[in-house]
Amino acid sequence: MTETTGYSGGGFVHVKNPHLDSMEEDILYHLDLGTKTHNLPAMFGDIKFVCVGGSPNRMRAFAQFMRRELGLAGAGEELPDICAGSDRYAMYRAGPVLSISHGMGIPSISIMLHELIKLLHHAKCRDVTIIRIGTSGGLVWQQVTGVPSSGLASVSLCPGIEAGSVVITDTAVDSSFQPRFEQVVLGEVVVRSTELDKDLAEELLACSREIADFPTLIGHTMCTYDFYEGQGRLDGALCSFSSEKKLEYLRRAYDAGVRNIEMESTAFAALCGLCGLKAAVVCVALLDRLEGDQIRASHEVLWEYQQRPQRLIAAFIRQRLGLGPAGRSQH
């Protein structure tokens, strides 16, 4: 069975579950929120941007950064975690921006998204844009044109753009480079589309041109179920393939349009698309996977890399809110 994306009219979030209407109460267990215990429309009805990412600290830092970027009162103060009663996910608010952590991998982000999407539905949110701001492994070969001593121009492929590049996903693909997300439902495989909003990706790329100090590109993002064997790493506790086989696989991924690898984008694209949310995935590449597997950069460098998607999204949100040129502040 194949399910396809369907953007909805009215800008409302669509939950496609007839059972929800007959439930007296909806407990969003992993967020520690609920329809009887919380006034969700009052708490969240004006949310327009939702940003998600793996780590709770990153998402708290992003909310604090957004408070400064939006010039909100109390920008320097500690932010309360809206989900403090649950130790699964963390959620912070900065004006119309909600910032939520999702943990690592598809099962973790799926649970969070089910509850987040129901939250946006119960809160009657409209015209919400959702963006995953994450980290990834880069797969970036660069076309190099050279004129060797023979005087003839030649084009060759070299492992290219340095770590720290930011990839905006046009399509999330699985580990066979297919634009699909397979969910097992009652023992049957349901195939869901992983198309993301192309206009949103282009809008983000246009915003990135205002931020000169790191490269940003659009490409496919490969989503895997594992960080080690699943991403062709040679440094896991298990590895049954050679270095040549690894490079051959990554090269095939590159030829299929893949520019980075992470672990959530297909589920994110599928769930958000089916529920009528305009969605984007923006991840920084922590390393070039064609050059190695281990992440060797220092904590300071990695922290600065993680800020790059956040700076881009801050510029985008400021632009959408009509706040003038993108903020250039760093955290």
Ligand X SMILES: O=c1cc[nH]c(=O)[nH]1
Out of ligand X, ligand LQZ7MJT6, none, what residue 286 binds, judged by CB under 5 to 8 A for its kind, is ligand X
Query: By the 8 A CB rule, do 31 and 83 touch?
Result: yes
Nearest-angstrom CA–CA distance, 263 and 223: 5
Q: Kind and range of the H or E element at 191?
A: strand 188-193
Q: Map residues 16-55 to x or -, x wherever contact with ligand X holds by CB under 6 A.
A: ----------------------------------------
Site for ligand X in 137-156 (CB under 6 A): 137
Q: What angle do CA 291, 296, 300 make, to 5 degrees?
A: 130
Task: Please identify, using beta-carbon distances, which residue of 15 and 263 lies nearer to ligand LQZ7MJT6.
Answer: 263
- Beta-carbon-side half-sphere exposure of residue 301 (alpha carbons within 13 Å): 11
Candidates 161, 261, 290, 315: give the one binding ligand X (CB under 6 A).
Answer: 261
Candidates 263, 270, 272, 274: give the one binding ligand X (CB under 6 A).
Answer: 263
Is 135 annotated for ligand binding? yes
Smallest gap from Cβ 185 to ligand X, in A, equals 26
Task: Please identify, using beta-carbon distances, which residue of 215 and 292 lies nearer to ligand X.
Answer: 292
Nearest-angstrom CA–CA distance, 154 and 147: 6
DSSP 87: S
Instruction: Characterise 271 by phi-psi region: left (phi > 0), alpha (psi -120 to 50), beta (else).
Output: alpha
Binding positions are 88, 132-135, 231, 233
Residues found near ligand X in the complex (CB under 6 A) = 135-137, 227, 231, 261-263, 286
Binding positions for substrate are 231, 233
Binding positions for phosphate are 88, 132-135
